[in-house]
Chain A
Amino acid sequence: MKISVFINLIFLLLHKQKTKYISIFILSTLTIFLLSTVIFIKSSLQNEILKTLESHNDFIIQREFGGRIFDIENQLEDKLRNIYGVKNITKRVYGRYKFLSEDVYFTIIGVDFSNLNKELKNLGLQNISNDEMIVGFEVDNLLKKYKYTNYYDFFLPNKEIKKVKIAKVLEKESNIISSDIIILDINLARDILGINRDFSTNIAFDVPNELERTNIKQKLQRLDLELNIIQKEDILKKYETIFNYKGGVFLILYLVVLFAFIMILYQRYSQVSINERKQIAIFKAIGYSVRDIIKIKMSENFVVAFVSYLFGVLLAYFFVFILNAPILKNIFIDFSNIKNDFIIYPYIEFSTFVTLFLFFMVLFLSSVLIPVWKISAINPYESLR
């Protein structure tokens, strides 16, 4: 068959059976849309969070007794300085502060303003004084609701009140990681969280030489058996597991939907109407081989499946990256505390979409191929009478 003539024929036949194919198109588009939406959200959030984690220190050490975490003494910093290969040691203070009016928690992060790393400098912390703070977008919204437009009065553990000025509000775009955070001076954070000034929540540091990391971890553990040493890779793995778990749940749901869809399609072709049997019989009678008929049917369905795939993916792109995936995105982010109305940035894993395309096409076309082959291989002559 000449390709141009064949393509003409396929589009004529598609037009002739438009009612049938429109329903298949809608079902297929919906299936692809659902899965693409999940893939887009998962990939984008994972990428954002992993990108943020990438800029973190290589190691974090905590004090641990009996499986519980305690504040770590600041003097450990000096011991770390004596280990060759350890760089950028940073004492970190953080914890949760209950905002009683809304029964939600803010995440307090104490930072040494005199020793800011690149990430903190990017947040614009250089010009903040020790009695000022930077707040997340959603924190600011909550404070404003209670008329705290320029400052907030923290209740300290010793029942005193500490007034802290809001120097800056973080942009909504960074909400995925910062919606509930308050960044302030490390000693001010200790006072608010009730941490002794000689202690920190943990200590972070880098080991630029990757080959030395295991050695240094072992050396530290020998130095103090009650240290909990966490490597950045462990945190990355933990986050990946969480995303893969949530993505996996959706993948199973998708497979169920896809399987149901394919079964409907298979049933539909297995119980082909008299008209369709007749169509196949006419083709055979006027000289089309079983191979030609299968080629025609497969091409018709390929066009429908391909257009459905494109529509499904484009719709999902629009829903996720333009409309910001209302409702669905909160499934991927912990929504139990402060509302986290973050923006999802376009990030596409092409390999995932190629796999999805092949997977979808193979299932789709096989559900058509088997029944069509059966019908065209058996004698269709009776359909012509």
Chain B
Amino acid sequence: MIVAKNISKIYFEGSKKEFYALKNINFEIKKGSFVIFKGVSGSGKSTLLSILSTISKPSFGEILFDKEPVSKYPDIHASSFRAKNIGYIFQSFNLFEDLTVFVNVSLPLIPLGFSQKDIDKKVEEILTLSNILHKKDEIVSNLSGGEKQRCAIARALINNSNTILCDEPTSSLDYENSMNFIKTLKELKESGKTIVVATHDPLFFELDFVDKVFELKNGVLVE
């Protein structure tokens, strides 16, 4: 269960440019559910995901993951929590373009202390599942958009995390690849993972397996 309690995020705090990216956000996400945060650009979706993932901290309030106040963890514990529990899929994939698919997918396992043998085994498995094993030695910059997306998914799943956060995951994909991606998310939900998607792509709003849609307007949550 993910719980957000009175989350606010202030940028340029104390200066003339001060503004609230998020204001008093409260919500609960049940384990295994599929939740969407929708809203136009600048509404605060990505800021909320960065706080949920523990990459950034809220100015006020807290995030609880299974009652653990993860938003209050110091960097060393937050990063360890992130490495073990969060899979992140970005709008523009955010892969290392000059490295191979294999290396990109293996990166999250390195800070967890896996041996090279274990890394090789896990990466092979996840690349097979993501149907991209045949491209494992390919440099990422040579891949198509759909292949990059599959590589990004494989990287998000490699640590067997229970929560997958997706920030505008289909904005760089064509319709066919977007639908394939949505299908993958559905399968992930069915396997028991919690899926949180921040998007303004209408394709997501008509899905029958979505449990909850939150709308963000100027940093304020409208359910």
Question: Which A residues fall within an 8 A CB radius of B?
Answer: 1-2, 4-6, 8-9, 12, 16, 278-279, 281-292, 377, 379-381, 384-385
B94 and A278 contacting across the interface, CB-CB below 8 Å: yes
Residue B214 at the chain A interface, CB threshold 8 Å: no
Residue B177 at the chain A interface, CB threshold 8 Å: no
Which A residues are in CB contact (< 8 Å) with B47?
381
B83 and A286 contacting across the interface, CB-CB below 8 Å: yes
Residue B199 at the chain A interface, CB threshold 8 Å: no
A235→B152 CA distance, assembly (Å): 74
Write 27 A-B pairs (CB below 8 A) sorted by A numbering. Answer: A1-B113, A2-B114, A2-B115, A5-B119, A8-B116, A12-B103, A279-B96, A282-B95, A285-B53, A285-B82, A285-B88, A285-B94, A286-B107, A287-B112, A287-B159, A288-B111, A289-B79, A291-B76, A292-B79, A380-B55, A381-B47, A381-B55, A381-B56, A384-B90, A384-B94, A385-B91, A385-B167
B107 and A16 contacting across the interface, CB-CB below 8 Å: no
Choose among A1, A16, A285, A380 the residue that contacts B111 (Cβ–Cβ < 8 A): A1
Chain A residues touching B, majority SS: helix
A6 and B110 contacting across the interface, CB-CB below 8 Å: yes
B79 and A379 contacting across the interface, CB-CB below 8 Å: no
B83 and A16 contacting across the interface, CB-CB below 8 Å: no
B107 and A379 contacting across the interface, CB-CB below 8 Å: no
- Contact A5 to B110, CB < 8 A, known contacts A284-B55, A286-B155: yes
Minimum Cβ distance to chain B for residue A106 (Å): 67
- Contact A379 to B55, CB < 8 A, known contacts A282-B96, A292-B79, A385-B46: yes
Residue B162 at the chain A interface, CB threshold 8 Å: no
A2 and B55 contacting across the interface, CB-CB below 8 Å: no
Minimum Cβ distance to chain A for residue B12 (Å): 13
The residue in chain A whose Cβ has the minimal distance to the Cβ of B51 is: A381
- Contact A287 to B82, CB < 8 A, known contacts A5-B116, A379-B55, A384-B90: yes
Residue B6 at the chain A interface, CB threshold 8 Å: no
The residue in chain A whose Cβ has the minimal distance to the Cβ of B156 is: A286
Which B residues are in CB contact (< 8 Å) with A290?
75-76, 79
Residue B131 at the chain A interface, CB threshold 8 Å: no
Choose among A5, A9, A289 the residue that contacts B76 (Cβ–Cβ < 8 A): A289
A369→B142 CA distance, assembly (Å): 33
A282→B111 CA distance, assembly (Å): 13
Choose among B53, B79, B119 the residue that contacts A288 (Cβ–Cβ < 8 A): B79
User: B39-65 toward A: CB 8 Å interface, digit per residue (1/0)?
Assistant: 000000011001001011000000000
A5→B55 CA distance, assembly (Å): 24
Choose among B111, B115, B155 the residue that contacts A289 (Cβ–Cβ < 8 A): B111
Question: Which B residues fall within an 8 A CB radius of A?
Answer: 46-47, 50, 53, 55-56, 75-76, 78-80, 82-84, 86, 88, 90-92, 94-96, 98-99, 103, 107-108, 110-116, 119, 155, 159, 167
Further 6 A-B residue pairs, CB within 8 A, beyond A286-B107, A287-B82, A289-B75: A2-B115, A9-B110, A282-B96, A289-B111, A290-B79, A384-B92
Which A residues are in CB contact (< 8 Å) with B116?
2, 4-5, 8
The residue in chain B whose Cβ has the minimal distance to the Cβ of A282 is: B94
A59→B56 CA distance, assembly (Å): 77
A290→B98 CA distance, assembly (Å): 23
Minimum Cβ distance to chain B for residue A5 (Å): 5
Which A residues are in CB contact (< 8 Å) with B94?
278, 281-282, 285, 384
Minimum Cβ distance to chain A for residue B53 (Å): 7
A117→B129 CA distance, assembly (Å): 89
A1→B107 CA distance, assembly (Å): 11
Minimum Cβ distance to chain A for residue B17 (Å): 15
A255→B50 CA distance, assembly (Å): 44
Minimum Cβ distance to chain A for residue B71 (Å): 13
Task: Please indicate which of the listed interface residues B56, B110, B159 has the most CB atoms of chain A within 10 Å of its own CB.
Answer: B110
B114 and A287 contacting across the interface, CB-CB below 8 Å: no
A287→B55 CA distance, assembly (Å): 9
B80 and A16 contacting across the interface, CB-CB below 8 Å: no
A287 and B91 contacting across the interface, CB-CB below 8 Å: no
Minimum Cβ distance to chain A for residue B104 (Å): 9
